[in-house]
Amino acid sequence: MNSKGSNSTHHTLPSEWYFDPAHFQRELKSIWWDEWLCVARAGELGEPGQFKVIRVGSQQVIITRNPKGKLQAFHNTCRHRGSLLCESDSGSFHSGRIVCPYHAWVYSLDGELQNTPRLNESDDFNRKDYSLYQVAVDSWAGFIFINLAGIPASELKTRIAEEANPLSNWPMQELLIAHRQVHHVDCNWKVFWENFLECYHCPNIHRELCALVPLYGQGVTSPEDLPEDHPLLAASAQTLLKPGAVTWSGDGFTTLPWFDGLSREEQTIGMTFFNLWPSVFIVAHVDYVRSVQVMPDGPEKTRLTVDWLVSPETMDREALDIPGLVAFGQQVVLEDARVCELNQKGLHSQRHRSGVLTEKERDVLAFDQWVMARLGD
């Protein structure tokens, strides 16, 4: 399956890996608590003291900015007796202090313990020894990433470089969130990614998407997967969209301004994808960018945070039609969510130990191999 025309047969991951609680814990430790995870847009924390709480399995992480505007991240845990520090998912720390709601221990926005009210500190008690538990945090393209490993295996920029970033011509840093939707899908996180990585299902599930992207109507994601004499090959050399279409929308057209600096190919091809397993994929168009953050909420629950990102110029337009901007992408996400939930339910069959992958699903195979490598299998 690793090359076009290969007749090799490959199987999916074991079925229990998609619902077994013990295996889910194994993946949390070996993947989700060890990889760089995309968790927010930098603009969500625009001022010092603003905070956001991120949940990754059983772990909670506070992200904030110190007085100099530097990103900081800590476990949402007081060093006294382990109480949660933040009860809400977002907000602002008053007076630039993080105060435990239990016994009122006070920390700076850099995580340093500043005050222990009503405590007679002993001679061997050193406040410097009880700073908040630091979490590695960094940013790229206007996105905030965290890494729960004590010492990350590599820097974020190294991890990004491994993927040959195709978004360099988009002004990613300055884009603003025009709209956000959060979807809770009853499936394992790997089921969602495997569905995203193949278009074998597209003709049955995404009728409107296949009309917009004729290649998807053939059940493939790349022109390389078409027969050499297929008529779509000539068209795909110019654009992947239907004739006249320029972006992902109901009719393929847009009234929004196009991004400056895009190459002729980026303008004509109509869509540019960037995936960073396990936590995010980004789809860039000529007029907007859509990002989908993926987060596991349990062995059979996945949270999707979908952002539609636009330029400040577009954001300031009084006539910006948010429903029109998001309708097409929302439909695709809901269609994918439905079949992912069907897939999840079927995996519980006691007879189904694993599935089989077709040639059209070689990207699924690559993802499964990535998962196995992270688990040491």
**Per-residue pLDDT tens for 321-357?**
999 999 999 999 999 999 999 999 999 999 999 999 9
- pLDDT-derived band at 251 (thresholds 50, 70, 90) equals very high
pLDDT at 115 over 80: yes
The answer, yes or no, to whether residue 240 has pLDDT greater than 70, is: yes
Percent of the chain at pLDDT above 70?
97
Please compute the mean of the pLDDT values over residues 191-208 and round it to a whole number: 98
pLDDT grade, residue 235 (50/70/90)? Answer: low
From CA 167, how far away is CA 171, in angstroms rounded? 8
In this prediction, residue 5 has a pLDDT band, given cuts at 50, 70 and 90, of very low
Look over the chain and give the mean of its residue pLDDT values, rounded to a whole number: 94
Distance CA 51, CA 94 (A): 11
Cα(188)–Cα(99) distance, rounded to whole angstroms? Answer: 36
Evaluate whether 215 touches 236 at the Cβ level (below 8 Å). Answer: yes
The pair of structure tokens assigned to 90 is 């977002």
- pLDDT per residue over 268-307, tens digit each? 999 999 999 999 999 999 999 999 999 999 999 999 999 9
What is the separation, in whole angstroms, between the first and last Cα of the chain?
Answer: 20
Token duo for residue 281: 């994929």
Q: Residue 236's pLDDT band (boundaries 50, 70, 90)?
A: low
Q: Distances in Å between the alpha carbon of 297 and those of 57, 63, 74, 275, 301?
A: 6, 19, 20, 20, 5
Q: Catalogue all structural domains in the chain, each as residue range(s) with its CATH number.
A: 1-19+163-377 (3.90.380.10), 34-160 (2.102.10.10)
**What pLDDT score does 89 carry?**
97
On the question of pLDDT at 1 being above 80, the answer is no
Greater pLDDT, 227 or 133: 133
Cβ contact 269:263 at 8 Å: no
pLDDT surpasses 80 at 96: yes
In this model, does residue 161 exceed pLDDT 70?
A: yes
Question: What number of CA atoms fall less than 13 Å from residue 147's CA on the CB side?
Answer: 17
